[in-house]
Amino acid sequence: MVYCVAQILFLIDKMRFRGKNTLIFTELDDVIFLFFVYSICTFAQKFIGIMKKIMLCLLGTLGLTNACSQQSFENADVKTFAELIENQDVIILDVRTADEFNQGHLENAINIDFKQPDFMEKVKSMLPTDRTIAVYCRSGRRSAAAAQMMAAEKYKSVNLKGGILAWKEQNMPIKADLYEVDVFKTASGKTIKLHALTHASIRIQYDNKEIQIDPVSEYNGKKIAYAAMPKADYIFITHEHHDHLDKNAIQTLWQDNTQLFANPSSAKILGLGTVLKNGDKQQIADGLSVEAVPAYNTTKEHLQFHPKGRDNGYILTLDGTRIYIAGDTEDIDEMEKIKNIDIAFLPCNQPYTMTPKQLIKAAKTVRPKVLFPYHYGQTNLQDIPTQLQKEGIDVRIRHYE
């Protein structure tokens, strides 16, 4: 800016005067250059203002200042934060990476990675604006930046000062899961926990109920510690193949009031359970219903693996949250009728189920908010998240090999 002013003064010194008040330039080039310098000065002033705003935002992200403007979220120490999250209406949000989350997290925390470019899109799709969000990270910096971003979208956020490091220093409880866990909240605030056990085996915790999907004690050398888990309230079996139906696992999870639901052939093998055929629906309890949907092969050379009409997929509705567990299937026409899915489990291992290309097509048809590829064995899934990102589908890869 000083340089620009100096140039203007230099040009004025070169001017010649005619008459009393008339200012004349000696060369036309001087006029053009003077206008150019003036334009540069104006642009520089605006540019400096913009850069100041950008720097404030960057400092806010690093935790070196409160925000891009005035702070619009609350900070809480460990004691205040602990008292806050005792309220069942408060949603706990962990904004660290999935790897950090799985090493230990606060009980009932939902994990949305702040470093991902679609962070706010996931927040908007998963979290209501009429509930307080208790947010934390490792040290409090990422969560402060996240809280500020959320505040701009009308969320009421409370940030844990010092993050989980401060929490641990106060000897506060940390939950370390043996298996990967994803946590969701229903519309009324009830918690749904999805445990990635193995291959096609899923444990669901909901409203103090234990739900097991295709429990198998061991698959491909990986043993599942069902004996260490609570007994099952509900067990769902999609079909009779060994990686879906295991009498020993069912026996371990069984208690007097366990209810088992299965396709006809699996129920016959077990000699127990409620039979559900394709198209059957049942209200199991308040806020819990199930619909059996088709699951079968369409590739000519693979029809013998899962013939049409024999096996089930399931749509579980938990307090309004719809979870589609596809079972062993390809991208079948019946998927066109499956609507309003919040969470989907789609298989991916030809020749038994889908190729990655088929899975992507199925996901675009069903359009879940969150997608878990499962039953995938050694299939390479690395391109699936990228291909579905533009569709607004949150793809989560867990250990469902």
Q: What is the pLDDT of residues 218-248, one digit of tens each?
A: 999 999 999 989 999 999 999 999 999 999 9
229 closest CA partner among 178, 167, 185: 178
pLDDT at 103: 86
pLDDT at 51 over 60: no
- What average pLDDT does the segment 118-137 reach? 93
Where in the sequence numbering do the catalytic residues fall?
Answer: 137
CA distances from 27 to 24, 32, 33, 35, 353 (A): 9, 9, 10, 13, 80
Q: Which residue has the higher pLDDT, 380 or 17?
A: 380
| CB atoms inside a 10 Å sphere around CB 58 | 13
Q: What is the pLDDT of residues 319-365, one digit of tens each?
A: 999 999 999 999 999 999 999 999 999 999 989 999 999 999 999 99
Amino acid, single-letter form, for residue 336: E
Mean pLDDT of the chain: 88
Q: What is the 3-state secondary structure (H, E, C) of the chain?
A: CHHHHHHHHHHHHCCEEECCCEEECCCHHHHHHHHHHHHHHHHHHHHHHHHHHHHHHHHHHCCCCCCCCCCCCEEECHHHHHHHCCCCCCEEEECCCHHHHHCCECCCCEECCCCCCCHHHHHHHHCCCCCEEEEECCCCHHHHHHHHHHHHCCCEEEEECCHHHHHHHCCCCCECCCCEEEEEECCCCCEEEEEEEECCEEEEEECCEEEEECCCCEECCEECCHHHCCCCCEEEECCCCCCCCCHHHHHHHCCCCCEEEECHHHHHHHCCCEECCCCCEEEEECCEEEEEEEECCCCHHHCCCCCCCCEEEEEEEECCEEEEECCCCCCCHHHHHCCCCCEEEEECCCCCCCCHHHHHHHHHHHCCCEEEEECCCCCCCCCHHHHHHCCCCEECCCCCC
Q: Which domains does the chain have, with CATH numbers?
A: 2-61 (no CATH), 74-169 (3.40.250.10), 199-395 (3.60.15.10)
pLDDT at 37: 53
- What average pLDDT does the segment 363-375 reach? 98
| Per-residue tokens: 207 | 């409203």
- What average pLDDT does the segment 143-153 reach? 95
Contact between 249 and 222 (Cβ < 8 Å): no
Where does the pLDDT of residue 178 fall: very low under 50, low under 70, confident under 90, or very high at 90 and above?
Answer: confident
CA dihedral angle for residue 287, residue 210, residue 279, residue 319, rounded to 10 degrees? 20
pLDDT at 177: 82
pLDDT at 176: 82
Which residues are bridge partners to 204 per DSSP? 194, 211
Q: What is the pLDDT of residues 52-91, one digit of tens each?
A: 445 544 544 444 444 344 678 999 999 999 999 999 899 9
